[in-house]
Amino acid sequence: MQRMTVAKAMTECLKAEGITDIFGYPGAAICPFYDELYKSGINHILVRHEVNAGHSASGYARITGKPAVCVATSGPGALNLITAIATAYMDSVPMIIITGQVNSDQIGRDVFQEADITGSAEPFVKHSYLLKRPEDTAEVFKKAFYIAGTGRRGPVLIDVPCDVQKAEIDFEYPESVDIRSYRPSSKGNGYQIKRAAVTILEAKKPLIIAGGGLFSGNAAELMRELSEKLDIPVISTLMGLGAMPTDNERYFGMLGMHGCESAKCAVNNCDTLILLGARLSDRTSAPIMLKKGLTVIHIDIDPAEIGKSVAANIPIVGDISIVLGQLLEQLNNTVSENAVPKHDEWKAMLSQSRVDKGIKQVEKGFVNPKWFIRELNNYLPNRSIVVADVGENQFWTALNIELKNGRFLTSGGMGTMGYSLPAAIGAKTAEPNAEVIAVCGDGSFQMEMPELATCVQHNIAVKVIVMRNKYLGMVREFQTNHYGNRLYAVSLDGSPSYTKIADSYGIENMLVDSKESAKEGIKRLTESNKPFLLEVAVPEMLETIL
Amino acid sequence: MKHTISVLVENHAGVLARVAGLFARRGFNIDSLAVGVTDDVNISRITIVADGSDYTLEQIEKQLNKLIDVIKVKTLAPENMVSRELILIKVSCSPKQRPEIISICELAHGKISDISANSITIEISDSTNALNNFEELLRPYGIKEIVRTGTIAIQKGEAAVSVRN
């Protein structure tokens, strides 16, 4: 038990949780905390807009698998974080958001920089606290980290009034935590596991859909084992990309509105669907909802996701790594060595459905983005982290990037533009030795451009690839296909030269507009150990699916 | 279809806002909502009558359970619960009409809670349907104001929605 201010106690809580880096932006109402932060030894990364503190923490957390921390001041600072909080919530990313609040006795009186952040963020947080009683500090932090980092992961917000930060308390960080109303399930129901095992063994055309939960639950390896053991083909959601190496013979691509033909064929023809940590949004569930006579095994940590989009015949709620462990054990006990199913015909059918339209020649002075991403693959180490933004660039990347032991990050559920660079900054901070690449369009880049300064100031060697086509390409495509080709408010005329922007930050850069220059650009980008910006001239009217 | 849901929550500030907000943003319709503390002062009970299909009800239960402050959620079976609502109803009433209205009130097991020269206020606790019928009986006299608490409900027999089981 030690006497200290709440502000100091907050830094002690973070240290006790193993936090070494945090992303933030200061302001008056959070100053007592910052005054302790600088003595704490925790590395603070100053972003250039609060929303990016949230996205950076998101990128960091997705790489470490543990809750990451972002900080902002009261009022506008806190409100600027909301899009990042919602983005993390939709993609089940564990995050702790610390916000300053006006003095307790001023709350509710519309004082300067006051905003009800716990109220405003309520729809997008797993839980939130307004820390009113200084003596609750340790318990609130302990609970917040526990809630964010267990069960279905998610953001937890702690709002701390300025006077509370200055108050003195006797501090001791609790070793354990028990919340009677929060006991996430871990083991799957034994009966359902048995049913699942029997169903999988009897299936003629089984199919695994790998979701983002495999990363949250650290269970990608177990999924690969299940696929290999029983010869089950795998397709992926956008969030599950990379759970199965993209060059695996049993991997048949990504499902979804912008997914590939082989994945669609797999869903349309399978008889048993094994959903692993995938909630199946409206962009992926449509073909499944229409299918009759399909047996669905749905494994998810959140009971509310089971039966929400797709009716499940065998629902299993639990921690995916534990449930997959149980399932593999059950299968081991049930199946004898010589009766292990083989699905050669099924796989052959799926292999035939693989469509590659090849690489189209583009006009002189431009680079085909599909070719570009495939070329980039040749230079990336096995453990690379590629963060795609939102729009056409997202699917040019998702559909063509090769992932072996690396990760692919993107804003899946929320589709938040301006995610890639700050998230890449977070990922690179979490894993400085990995090659971390942000791929964005010129629309999304202009939302996140100020973060180049963060890279320079904190020496974070993120590589940025700007697919410049002078359009909000995906919206333009939408207007072409669904609004009589009336292109409106989608031209990005007036945009700057991105290489000159990089120059002004002192960031190495190159503009590439041909295969030859692109190859050189990729080489320079991957060989550099500093931040690098590559502007890729992409033809203006290219579609998402190339 | 109407569902009566009994929800035990931590008795913290802001919990009601979280529950009400959840219903609003997920598009669940609330017919009535009543809150009160339980025998344990740290726990409140929210009784919600909601309208929706079985799919909606399943989602309501699951989403409520995800709120950290929610301890327990139980949908009560209509045939196996006692549900009550309290109504205060103020009706125009001349001195000549008093005997008539008082006799209606007695028939319905209501209680006269206030009387003035030209009005009468009656309180009754009963099921929502019985209260609706009663309201219709009084309508011809001229209803000045109605205040209803929303439904509260409890299971029949020994079963209890409590943290102890």
- Tell me the chain A residues in contact with residue B55 when contact means C-beta distances shorter than 8 Å: 307
Q: Are A112 and A246 members of one domain?
A: no
Binary contact (A181, B10; C-beta < 8 A) = yes
Per DSSP, the three-state class of A269 is helix
Contacts for A387 with CB less than 8 Å, ≥ 6 apart: A59, A408, A409, A410, A419, A420, A421, A423, A424, A427, A436, A437, A438, A439
- Amino acid identity of A225? E
How many whole angstroms separate alpha carbon A42 and alpha carbon A54?
17
How many whole angstroms separate alpha carbon A216 and alpha carbon A65?
6
Residue-range domains of chain B with CATH: 2-76 (3.30.70.260), 82-152 (3.30.70.1150)
Binary contact (B68, A127; C-beta < 8 A) = yes
The torsion of the CA quartet A362, A365, A368, A371, rounded to 10 degrees, works out to 110
The nearest CA of chain B is from the CA of A127 a distance in Å of: 7
Lowest-confidence segment of A288-302, A349-363, B23-37, B140-154 by average pLDDT: A288-302
Residue A182 domain-assigned?
A: no
Residue A544 domain-assigned?
A: no
Sign, Cα dihedral of A486, A445, A66, A219 = positive
Structure tokens at B59: 């989602």
Preferred mutation among B58, B60, B66 to probe A, highest tally of A CBs within 10 A: B66
Q: Are A252 and A393 members of one domain?
A: no
Q: Are A128 and A162 members of one domain?
A: yes
Give me the CATH number covering residue A333: 3.40.50.1220
For residue A280, what pLDDT band results from cuts at 50, 70 and 90? confident
Output the pLDDT for position A465: 98
A285 has pLDDT over 90: no
For the residues B112-123, what does the mean pLDDT come to?
96
B165 has pLDDT over 70: no
Give me the CATH number covering residue A30: 3.40.50.970
Q: Are A138 and A66 members of one domain?
A: yes
Judged by a CB distance cut-off of 8 A, whether residue B56 touches chain A is no
The nearest CA of chain A is from the CA of B62 a distance in Å of: 5
A44-97 tens-digit pLDDT: 999 999 999 999 999 999 999 999 999 999 999 999 999 999 999 999 999 999
Question: Contact A128/A56 with Cβ under 8 angstroms?
Answer: no
Output the pLDDT for position A336: 74
Residue A183 domain-assigned?
A: no
Q: Are A386 and A454 members of one domain?
A: yes
Residues recorded for chain B: 165
Interface of B with A in 57-116 (CB under 8 A): 58-59, 62-63, 65-66, 68-71
Whose structure tokens read 């990128």? A59
| Nearest residue of B to residue A147, measured between CA atoms | B68
Nearest to A91 by CA among A246, A236, A215, A186: A215
- Tell me the chain A residues in contact with residue B27 when contact means C-beta distances shorter than 8 Å: none
Q: Are A432 and A484 members of one domain?
A: yes
Q: Are A406 and A341 members of one domain?
A: no
- The helix or strand, by DSSP H or E, that contains position A234, with its residue range, turns out to be strand A234-236
Rg (C-alpha) for chain A, rounded Å, is 24
| Nearest residue of A to residue B22, measured between CA atoms | A123
* HEC per residue, A440-473: EEHHHHHHHCCHHHHHHHCCCCCEEEEEECCECH
Residue A358 domain-assigned?
A: no
Picking from A352, A387, A417, the residue at the C-terminal end of a domain is A352
Residue A175 domain-assigned?
A: no
* HEC per residue, chain B: CEEEEEEEEECCCCHHHHHHHHHHHCCCEEEEEEEEECCCCCEEEEEEEEECCHHHHHHHHHHHHHCCCEEEEEEECHHHEEEEEEEEEEEECCHHHHHHHHHHHHHCCCEEEEEECCEEEEEEEECHHHHHHHHHHHHHHCEEEEEECCCEEEECCCCCCCCCC
Binary contact (A119, B58; C-beta < 8 A) = no
Q: Are A434 and A343 members of one domain?
A: no
- Tell me the chain B residues in contact with residue A121 when contact means C-beta distances shorter than 8 Å: none
A404-435 tens-digit pLDDT: 999 999 999 999 999 999 999 999 999 999 99
- Neighbour tally for A446: CB within 10 Å: 18
- The helix or strand, by DSSP H or E, that contains position A169, with its residue range, turns out to be strand A168-171
A vs B, Cβ pairs < 8 A, gives 34
Question: Contact B111/B105 with Cβ under 8 angstroms?
Answer: yes
Range of the domain at A49: 2-170
Q: Are A165 and A296 members of one domain?
A: no
* Buried b or exposed e, range A412-425, using 16+ CB within 10 angstroms: bbbbbbbbbbbbbb
Output the pLDDT for position A293: 84
Question: Torsions phi, psi of B133, nearest 5?
Answer: -60, -45
Q: Are A279 and A143 members of one domain?
A: no
Residue A364 domain-assigned?
A: no
Nearest to A159 by CA among A180, A142, A174, A144: A144
* Buried b or exposed e, range A523-544, using 16+ CB within 10 angstroms: ebbbeeeebbbbbbbbeeebeb
Q: Among partner residues A130, A147, A302, which is closest to B68 by beta-carbon distance?
A: A147
A287 has pLDDT over 90: no
A392 class by beta-carbon count within 10 Å (0-12 exposed, 13-18 middle, 19+ buried): buried
Question: Contact A428/A407 with Cβ under 8 angstroms?
Answer: no
Q: Are A198 and A236 members of one domain?
A: yes
Picking from A125, A140, A170, the residue at the C-terminal end of a domain is A170
Per DSSP, the three-state class of A259 is coil
- Neighbour tally for B56: CB within 10 Å: 17
For the residues B101-119, what does the mean pLDDT come to?
95
A328-371 tens-digit pLDDT: 999 998 887 667 889 999 999 999 999 888 999 999 999 999 99
Task: Give me the number of domains chain A comprises.
Answer: 3
Whose structure tokens read 């904190």? A458
* HEC per residue, A116-156: CHHHHHHHHCCEEEECCCHHHHHHHHHHHHHHHHCCCCCEE
Q: Are A414 and A512 members of one domain?
A: yes
ipTM field:
0.91
Binary contact (A182, B65; C-beta < 8 A) = no
- Helix intervals (H) in A282-419: 282-289, 320-334, 344-352, 369-377, 392-398
Residue A361 domain-assigned?
A: no
Picking from A170, A204, A223, the residue at the C-terminal end of a domain is A170
- Tell me the chain B residues in contact with residue A126 when contact means C-beta distances shorter than 8 Å: 68
Judged by a CB distance cut-off of 8 A, whether residue B25 touches chain A is yes
Residues recorded for chain A: 546
Residue A83 domain-assigned?
A: yes
